[in-house]
Amino acid sequence: MSLKVGIDFGTSNSGVAVFDGQKVRLLPVDPKNVLPEVIKTVLYITKDYRTYLGHEAVETYYRDNVNRQRRYVKQWAGEIEYRGADMFYVDDVFVYVDELKPGRLLQYLKTALRKDNYQGTQIFERFYSVGDLAQTYLNLLKKRAEEVLGESIDAVTLGRPVKFSESPEMDRKAQETLRQAAHEAGFKAVDFELEPIAAALYYEQSITEPQNVVIFDFGGGTLDIAVMRLGDAKSRKVYASGGVDIAGSDFDRTIIEKRMLPHFGYGKVKHHPEIMQMIEAIPDWMALPELGTPINKNILEKAIQAKVAPVRLKALEHLIYNDLAFTFYNRVEAGKIALSSEGATIISLEDKNIALWELYTRSQFESDIQHYVVDVEKVLLDTIAKSGFDIEEIDAVVKTGGSSNIPLFTGMLERIFGAEKVKESSSFSSVVAGLAIKAWM
C-alpha cells in the first residue's frame, strides 16, 4: 500500500506527519531535538559529501568547524574574456579557497527557492542548485520518516506559502523547483497545499460548528493569510488568501542591523569602506561565510594594527574567521523568541576575541520592527476585504507559526478582531498536521 505523508518544508523548521482518518501522528524525525517532531531546516554537507540534517547537522558543524584551522590556496575559478574594439584577450580568474574547510552548513533553504538572484552554491567540487539542496534535504527527511514508520513513503503533500514571491513567474518557478526536488528525493507523487489552508484543516478538527476563520500563519520566511469557511466539509471554502515576504528572518535581520552592527563600529567608527562592506554583509546569512578570504583578513589586520577601533575589528575578524556566523544568528533568533514571553533578554556572543553583550527589551524590539506591523496589518485587512467579509463576520482568527507569538502581532490581531476571537494553534505543528490531513483526503 502506498503511503502518503504531509511535509512542512519550513524556512526555519520542518516536520513530517501522517493521518489515518482518525488521528494525526507527528513523526519524531529529529530524536535529538527538544521537540523531536520539529526538525531544523538545516543541511550540512561535508567535504566527502556526507549529508546531515537538523540537530545532527548543527552538531557536526560545531564539532568540525568552530575554531578550526584554515589554509587558503589559490584555485583557478574560470576565465574572463575581455573584448574591445580592437582587442580581445582571455584572463584567468583565481579565488582563494580554504582547503581545510570540512563542510558547509546551509540554512534558509526555502528562502533560497524564492530568491531570483540565487541560483545555488558551489560546495567543494560540486555545484548544488537550489533544487539540489532542497532535494538533498527532502531525501534525508524522507529516509528519517521511513525509519520511524518502518515502511516506505511514496507520496507527499508539501506545504507552500501563499506567495513564494510577489512575481508570479518566480512563484511558479519556486513551486516547480520544489516539486522536481521532491520527485528526485524519491516521492513518486507530489502535490501542494497552501500552508494557511493546511493549518485551517487542522483547526477544523477542533470545531463543531461552521465558522468564518482567518488563518494567520506567520513563520520564519513568510506571512500567509487565508480567509475560510470551516467546520463542514461540504461548505468548506477559501474566500481569499494573501501573503507577504515578511517573517521571522526579517526580524532577526532588523535586530542585527539595529542592535548588533554597532558592536562592530557601524554608525560609530569611520571604518575603511571595505570594512564597512564587510560589516554591512553581516545580516545576510548567505554573505557572511563568504567574507572569510585572505584579502579581507589582510585588510582587517592592517586596520587592527593601525589601531582603528581594534577591539571591534578583532571581534569582526573573529566572527568571520572562526565560523561563528551560525552561532551568531542563533543567538539573535533566541533573543527574539525570548522577548515573546519576557520583557528583556540578553543577546550575547562570547569567544576568544569577541564579547558581544546587548540587553534587549521588548519595547526596543517593538520599536525596531514597528514598520513591519503597518505592512502586515495592510495585507491582513486587504485579504479580508478581498474575501468579502466584514471584520465583525469573522468568528475566529487562528494564529500559527513561530512569529505569530510575537506580542506586537498578537496585540494587533486582538485590536482588530477582539481578544476573544484570537485563537492560538500549535505554532510548529498545525501546518504539518493539516498537510497530513490533506494528504489523506
Partner 1 sequence: MTSFNKKIDEWMKEAEARPASAVAIVKLVANRLRELTERNEELLSENIALENGTRVEEYQKRIAHLEYQLELLKRRFGVDEGTLVEFPATPAVEASTLSLLIYNARGRVFRLDLDEDAKEIGQIVGDVVGNDEPPRILAVPANEEICLLFTSGRIETHSVSNIPTVELGGKWDWSQAALPDEPRAGELLACVAPFSHLPLSDFFLQISRRGCAKKNMTSLAQSILGNHYIGKGALQKSDQPFDLMLCHKQDTAIFVTYEGKVIALDVDDLSYAIEERIKLSTTDYVIASFIAPVDATLLCVTQTGKVIQRESKSIDTSKSSTAKGQVLIPPSRLEQGVRFMGAAAVQDGDRVVVLDATGRLNLLEAESMTGAGSIEAGGLILSIGRIPADSWMNLVKV
DSSP classification of residue 256? I
- Return the range that interacts with partner 1 (CB under 8 A); candidates 30-38, 96-104, 293-301, 363-371: 363-371
By CB under 8 A, is residue 411 in contact with partner 1?
Answer: no
- Per the CB < 8 A criterion, the answer to whether 425 and 203 are in contact is yes
Look-up: residue for cell 517532531?
Answer: 37
Selected from 346, 391, 419, 441, the binder of partner 1 by CB under 8 A is 346
Exposure pattern of 152-162 as b/e (b: 16+ CB <10 Å)? ebeebbbbbbb
By CB under 8 A, is residue 4 in contact with partner 1?
Answer: no
* Least separation in angstroms between CB 346 and partner 1: 6
By CB under 8 A, is residue 3 in contact with partner 1?
Answer: no
- For residue 210, the SS3 value is coil
Which residue, 6 or 335, is less far from partner 1 as judged by CB?
A: 335
Which residue, 347 or 394, is less far from partner 1 as judged by CB?
A: 347
* Least separation in angstroms between CB 408 and partner 1: 12
For residue 304, report the phi and psi dihedrals to the nearest 5 degrees: -65, -45
Selected from 362, 399, 421, 438, the binder of partner 1 by CB under 8 A is 362
d(CA 325, CA 354): 12
Burial class (CB in 10 A: 0-12, 13-18, 19+), 44: buried
By CB under 8 A, is residue 359 in contact with partner 1?
Answer: yes
- For residue 64, the SS3 value is helix
Residue ranges of the alpha helices (H) in 185-247?
Answer: 195-204
- Per the CB < 8 A criterion, the answer to whether 368 and 385 are in contact is no
- Return the range that interacts with partner 1 (CB under 8 A); candidates 3-11, 39-47, 164-172, 359-367: 359-367
Which residue, 139 or 345, is less far from partner 1 as judged by CB?
A: 345
- Per the CB < 8 A criterion, the answer to whether 93 and 78 are in contact is yes
Residue at 335: amino acid letter: G
- Per-residue x/- mask for partner 1, residues 267 to 306, rule CB under 8 A? -x--------------------------------------
By CB under 8 A, is residue 94 in contact with partner 1?
Answer: no
* Least separation in angstroms between CB 331 and partner 1: 15
* Least separation in angstroms between CB 369 and partner 1: 14
Number of H helices, E strands in the chain: 14, 20
Q: What angle do CA 65, 67, 68 make, to 5 degrees?
A: 60
* Least separation in angstroms between CB 312 and partner 1: 13
Range 330-334 contact pairs with CB under 8 angstroms and sequence separation of 24 or more: 332/252, 332/255, 332/256, 332/260, 333/12, 333/248, 333/252
For residue 105, report the phi and psi dihedrals to the nearest 5 degrees: -100, 130
By CB under 8 A, is residue 262 in contact with partner 1?
Answer: yes
Cell numbers standing for residue 135 = 532535494
Selected from 342, 390, 393, 424, the binder of partner 1 by CB under 8 A is 342
By CB under 8 A, is residue 370 in contact with partner 1?
Answer: no
**What is the bridge-based pairing of β-strands 42-46 and 189-194?**
unpaired
Which residue, 305 or 367, is less far from partner 1 as judged by CB?
A: 367
By CB under 8 A, is residue 415 in contact with partner 1?
Answer: no
Which residue, 149 or 344, is less far from partner 1 as judged by CB?
A: 344
Neighbours of 205 (CB within 10 A): 14
Q: Which of residues 99-118 bind partner 1 (CB under 8 A)?
A: none
Number of amino acids touching partner 1 (CB under 8 A):
14
Neighbours of 326 (CB within 10 A): 21
By CB under 8 A, is residue 361 in contact with partner 1?
Answer: yes
- Return the range that interacts with partner 1 (CB under 8 A); candidates 114-122, 235-243, 339-347, 414-422: 339-347
* Least separation in angstroms between CB 360 and partner 1: 9
The residues binding partner 1 (CB under 8 A) are 262, 268, 342-346, 357, 359, 361-364, 367
